[in-house]
Structure 1
Amino acid sequence: MIKRIFDLCLSCFAALFLLIPFLLIWLLVKVTSTGPALYWSDRVGRHNVIFKMPKFRSMRVDTPAVATHLLNNPQQFLTPIGSFLRKSSLDELPQLLSIIRGDMSFVGPRPALFNQDDLIALRTKYGVDALMPGLTGWAQINGRDELPIPDKVNLDVAYMQHQSFWFDLKIIVLTFVKVLRRDGVQH
């Protein structure tokens, strides 16, 4: 309950504080590419329930709905500002809405795509599916896109076993450092 109250307060504050950058990014996406500014991705939430997670659209509208690392040439699908949005993690800002709605938390395992069967199966096997997915997580700050799936799940399990308010705060602070350095971003 404390985690939910913290998530709700922080996400509402962040949404108000980031309203102008949010509107500017929305406008930039609309001006530089065709299609909607937001992309609603089917993601796996707590207990493997599918939910719609918003992101600023960094890929063209005809991009296949698979994890970026599975595309032959992900660069060909990026919008003119897509690379910048991904490297700066600004494409993730709309996920504050998912936190407010209660589909996500600030900290937890990153929500898998609906078709990442190997990741979903491993998380379910080790009980990680019982956690609320997060905007950031222990695996995010320990490798992000560079980690093989078994390593991600091991880090998710470690988070599950050691989760606390202070551990969450540590992960949030380390996430800001990683985002500023653009560590672990491949596309």
Structure 2
Amino acid sequence: MLNSLYRNYFKRVIDFTLALIAIILLSPILVLVALLVRVKLGSPVLFKQDRPGLNEKIFTMYKFRTMTDEKDEQGELLPNELRHTNFGKFLRSTSLDELPELINVLKGDMSIVGPRPLLVEYLDLYNDYQSRRHDVRPGVTGLAQVNGRNTISWEEKFNYDIKYVDNISFLIDFNIISKTFMKVFRREGVNKNNNVTMNKFTGTKR
């Protein structure tokens, strides 16, 4: 009963309140990072990308950009790994690039805790079990992020996502938020096989 009330009513109120407080307290850092991104990586400062949210509704997610716009002789963007600078890698390893997602939380697109919003192109690749990750708002952090982040397989990530969907509670959210601070401080689980991010999801073998 209490978990149901939290999930359906109190979670959104807490999300909005925490996001608003965080934006106010972190505003000096947000401004500083924005200025550094503008100087080191160029404009626009924010990276915007469509992601599927609650019930697979598409929304625009905001992050600080972490790559340059360098192009080859044909005018095509260079591969991601060639457009990453040390500064961009620093933003990702410290999760500073994800701070603008607090705006998404205020808007109601995202929650503080929930399955991470992935690429729209993955929607057709999920099986019925994996699709259940969209039964709740996506999160800035989640159960998978405090249990390996980019060092675990896609299947393990989805298992953590569904485990969270089935067991949402205030205590679980509080525990995930607490662990997230420790993970970010230690920069744990950022890279897999020395890549900047996870390999693309190509579907689960049947």
The answer to whether TM tops 0.5 is yes
Match of 2:187?
Answer: 182
Q: Relative to 1, partners in 2 of residues 1:62 and 1:4: Cα closer, same or farther, differing over 3 Å?
A: farther
Do the aligned partners of 2:41 and 2:67 also contact (CA within 8 Å) in 1?
no
Question: Aligned partner of 1:145: which letter?
Answer: N
Task: Verify the 8 A CA contact 2:66 2:97 in the aligned structure 1.
Answer: yes
Deviation (angstroms), 1:60: 2.1
The separation in 1 between residues aligned to 2:69 and 2:54, in whole angstroms, is: 28
Aligned ranges 1:97-116 → 2 under 5 Å: 97-116=103-122
Distance (Å, rounded) in 2 between the aligned partners of 1:158 and 1:116: 20
Partner of 2:94: 88
2:160 is matched with: 155
3-state SS of 2:144 partner: helix
Cα deviation, 1:38-80, whole Å, max 9, x if unaligned, reads 00011111111111000000012369xxxxxxxx964312145
Letter in 2 for 1:98: N
1:7-86 superposed matches below 5 A? 7-61=15-69, 74-86=80-92
**Residue number in structure 2 paired with 1:165:** 170
Instruction: Determine which structure has more spread, i.e. the larger CA radius of gyration.
Output: 2
Worse overlay, 121-130 or 19-28: 121-130
Report the TM-score when normalising by structure 2.
0.81
Tell me the distance in 1 between the aligned counterparts of 2:183 and 2:130: 29
Q: Name the counterpart of 2:10.
A: 2
Distance 1:43 1:124, change over 3 A: farther
Distance 2:57 2:173 in 1: 23
When residues 145 and 122 of structure 1 are mapped into structure 2, their CA distance, relative to the original with a 3 A threshold, is farther
Unaligned runs of 5+ in 1: 64-71
Report the aligned-residue RMSD: 1.9
For 2:40, the aligned partner's letter is T
2:140 corresponds to which of 122, 135, 138: 135
TM-score between both structures, scaled by the size of structure 1 = 0.88
Taking the aligned partners of 1:122 and 1:152, their CA distance within structure 2 comes to: 14
1:162 is displaced (CA, Å) by 1.5
Partner of 1:179, secondary structure, is: helix
**Aligned AA (2:117):** P
The 3 A distance-change label for structure 1 pair 167 and 77 is same
Q: Do the aligned partners of residues 178 and 166 (structure 1) sit closer, same or farther apart at CA in structure 2, a change above 3 Å counting?
A: same
CA pair 123-41 structure 1, distance change in 2 beyond 3 A: farther
Comparing 82-91 with 32-41, greater Cα deviation is found at 32-41
Pairs aligned (count): 178
Decide whether the 8 Å contact of 2:150 with 2:190 is kept in 1.
yes
